[in-house]
Amino acid sequence: MKKWICWMMTMVLCAMALTACGNSSRQQSNANSGEQVEASAGTEDQTGKVLVVYYSASGNTKAVGDVIAQYTGGDTFEIIPVNAYTTEDLDWTAPGSRVDQEHEDESLQDIELVSTTVDDFDSYDTVFIGYPIWWQEAAWVVNNFVKGNDFTGKTVIPFCTSSSSGLGESGTHLAAMAGTGNWQEGMRFRGSASADEVTEWLDSLDL
Ligand SMILES: Cc1cc2nc3c(=O)[nH]c(=O)nc-3n(C[C@H](O)[C@H](O)[C@H](O)COP(=O)(O)O)c2cc1C
């Protein structure tokens, strides 16, 4: 009888220990309060549904956007101006070229887009937004997309490509233009950035 009671107690203690282990792996300590809080449910839940939006005049930013979309499994949305920029239009060294005129006269930077409407935009939790750097700023082609959408509740991550300039204040300026969204610092890539460089950055984000 004594042996049987001992055996039963051992089993009960084992069961209690296993339950405690199970709980501790699902909980983490709140460093400030010491209280136990539920651990987040995993990477996918933190990042949620991803959208990669970009404007690319000559393909460099698109290439980076494609790597981001592949890595995150996100959808893509290309910002397309109604009047596409020709090679001559993009020649910033030529006085009087389209970009030169638009740069000189801000009223010409109100670029009509084929669409600013993303299907089911509300469903996205994280939005990457990509653009080339033009005169140390985000190419103004993206402005009407940024102004035309509500980023409330979304994490917004800018990325850009350029010859040599950094991201600078381009992301901050877009955030102010949008007025909504939780905008992150973002990243600049050189025009010929490799997929590995982009992946390395994505690895470093807490996605
Ligand atoms: C109008 C214009 C202005 C540019 N201004 C800059 C600049 O200020 N700094 C820089 O490093 N690169 C500048 N560039 C180079 C582009 O940022 C770079 O080639 C970029 O990768 C192009 O991206 P895309 O192929 O996606 O259009 C400029 C290019 C153009 C067409």
Which sequence spans correspond to the domains of the chain? 2-38, 43-204
pLDDT of residue 179: 98
Type of residue numbered 36: Q
Whether 163 lines ligand 1, by a CB cut-off of 6 Å, is: yes
Rounded Cα distance, 160 and 188, in Å: 5
Is 43-204 in CATH node 1.10.1060.10? no
Mean pLDDT of 192-204: 98
pLDDT of residue 16: 43
pLDDT of residue 151: 98
- In the predicted model, what is the mean pLDDT of the chain? 84
Q: Looking at the chain, which runs of residues are DSSP E strands?
A: 27-29, 36-38, 50-54, 75-78, 126-134, 137-138, 155-162, 182-183, 187-190
Whether 72 lines ligand 1, by a CB cut-off of 6 Å, is: no
Atom of ligand 1 nearest to the CA of 92: 1
Residue 168 C-alpha to ligand 1 middle, in angstroms? 13
Residue 169 C-alpha to ligand 1 middle, in angstroms? 15
Rounded Cα distance, 44 and 31, in Å: 24
Residue 162 C-alpha to ligand 1 middle, in angstroms? 5
- Kindly report, residue by residue over 85-117, the tens digit of the pLDDT: 999 999 999 999 999 999 999 999 999 999 999
Band of residue 206 on the pLDDT scale cut at 50, 70, 90? confident
Rounded Cα distance, 175 and 185, in Å: 10
Atom of ligand 1 nearest to the CA of 190: 21
pTM of the model: 0.81
Band of residue 2 on the pLDDT scale cut at 50, 70, 90? low
